[in-house]
């Protein structure tokens, strides 16, 4: 598939998560959309191949949410269940186990929330839950901070992907700590890293990709846009542009100006 015919947001170099390769580097959440039809159109416009789904959308007893689950199946995307809203290790582990049974996947986006106002991860509980789930055969995508020590602990717990936040969930603030995110990327050059949460506009996503991140996961920025379908398409293009830019080896930042036109050989006019 050449550059003119490939799906939006996809590139020739796929990203790999736990041995599964996907072409799109945009992961999309499925909550808060105005309607199922708009959700479906937005996912298609984004080119996303992975979507996150909360277990709270499903109910085995009442079969609530079955139409939603059928919509996701019809799109042919890979599901990444999440433990959204869980505040304890026990709650997160139990939710993950239920999600694996319901969705038939070992993947889980692990959230253990430690603070209500910022929805900052409880990194202590996160590491503990990641260790338990990894030992039980789960392939864990932990929603974490950009802290290097926490990253080491999560890798030691069995995580082969890290998902540091850009900013608090749903805030749209972008990349609050570029230095920390760059440091994380530099310390783990071969590990898949996904910026998750806080992304508000396509330029935020492009900036994350230009740092060398492997993918971006977002939800609110598309779902709450005036035109979610158009915004999904814009994010796909931004991520593609950011990835192409980092592969092109950008110029280094300079403190002083450097002339783009050579001075040598310039015509000198007599007086």
SS3 per residue for the chain: CCCCCCCCCEEEEEEEECCEEEEECEEEECCCCCCHHHHHHHHHHHCCCEEEEEHHHCECCCCECHHHHHHHHHHCCEEEEECCCCCCHHHHHHHHHHHHHHHCCCEEEECCECCCCCCCECHHHHHHHHHHHHHCCCEEEEEECCCHHHHHHHHHCCCCCEEECCCCCCCCCCCCCHHHHHHHHHHCCCCCEEEECCCCCHHHHHHHHHCCCCEEEECHHHHCCCCHHHHHHHHHHHHHHHHHHHHCCCCCCCCCCCCCCCCCCCCCCCC
Q: What is the pLDDT of residues 6-43, one digit of tens each?
A: 555 455 589 999 999 999 999 999 999 999 999 999 99
Rg over alpha carbons for the chain, rounded to the nearest Å, is 20
Tokens 């990194």 belong to which residue?
Answer: 123
Provide the angle, in degrees to the nearest 10, between the axes of the packed helices 148-156 and 123-135. 20
pLDDT value for 75:
92
Cβ neighbours, 10 Å, residue 224: 15
Locate the domains of the chain by residue range: 21-248
Q: Kindly report the backbone phi and psi dihedral angles of residue 19, in degrees, each rounded to the nearest multiple of 5, phi listed first.
A: 85, -5
Tell me the pLDDT of the chain (271 aa) as tens digits: 444 445 554 555 899 999 999 999 999 999 999 999 999 999 999 999 999 998 764 554 444 467 888 888 889 999 999 999 999 999 999 999 999 998 999 999 999 999 999 999 999 999 999 999 999 999 999 999 999 999 999 999 999 999 999 999 999 999 999 999 999 999 999 999 999 999 999 999 999 999 999 999 999 999 999 999 999 999 999 999 999 999 999 888 888 887 777 666 666 666 5
Binding-site residues for 1-deoxy-D-xylulose 5-phosphate, in ranges, read 170, 197-198, 219-220
pTM of the model: 0.88
User: At 164, phi and psi to the nearest 5?
Assistant: -70, 145
CATH architecture of structural domain 21-248 = Alpha-Beta Barrel (3.20)
* In contact, 98 and 55? CB cutoff 8 Å: yes
Please check whether residue 196 is in contact with residue 217, taking contact to mean a CB–CB distance below 8 angstroms: yes
Catalytic residues: 109
Q: Which residues are annotated as a binding site?
A: 170, 197-198, 219-220
> What pLDDT was estimated at residue 60?
46
């Amino acid at each position: 598939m050449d550059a003119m015919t490939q799906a939006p947001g996809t590139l020739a170099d796929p990203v790999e998560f736990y041995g599964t390769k996907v072409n799109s580097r945009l992961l999309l959440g499925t909550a808060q959309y105005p309607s199922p039809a708009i959700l479906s159109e937005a996912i298609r416009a984004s080119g996303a191949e992975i979507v996150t789904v909360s277990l709270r959308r499903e109910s085995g007893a009442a079969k609530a949410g079955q139409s939603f689950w059928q919509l996701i199946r019809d799109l042919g995307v890979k599901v990444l269940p999440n433990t959204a809203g869980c505040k304890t290790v026990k709650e997160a582990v139990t939710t993950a186990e239920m999600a694996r049974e319901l969705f038939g996947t070992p993947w889980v986006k692990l959230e253990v929330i430690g603070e209500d106002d910022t929805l900052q991860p409880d990194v202590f509980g996160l590491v503990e839950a990641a260790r338990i789930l990894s030992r039980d055969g789960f392939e864990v995508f932990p929603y974490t901070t950009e802290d290097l020590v926490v990253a080491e602990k999560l890798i030691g717990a069995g995580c082969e992907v890290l998902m540091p936040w850009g900013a608090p969930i749903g805030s749209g603030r972008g990349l609050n700590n570029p230095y920390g995110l760059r440091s994380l990327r530099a310390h783990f050059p071969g590990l898949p890293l996904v910026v998750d949460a806080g992304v508000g506009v396509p330029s935020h996503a492009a900036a994350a990709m230009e740092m060398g991140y492997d993918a971006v996961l977002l939800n609110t920025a598309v779902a709450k846009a005036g035109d979610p379908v158009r915004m999904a398409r814009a994010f796909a293009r931004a991520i593609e542009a950011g990835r192409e830019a980092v592969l092109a080896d950008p110029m280094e930042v300079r403190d002083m100006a450097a002339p783009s036109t050579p001075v040598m050989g310039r015509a000198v006019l007599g007086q």
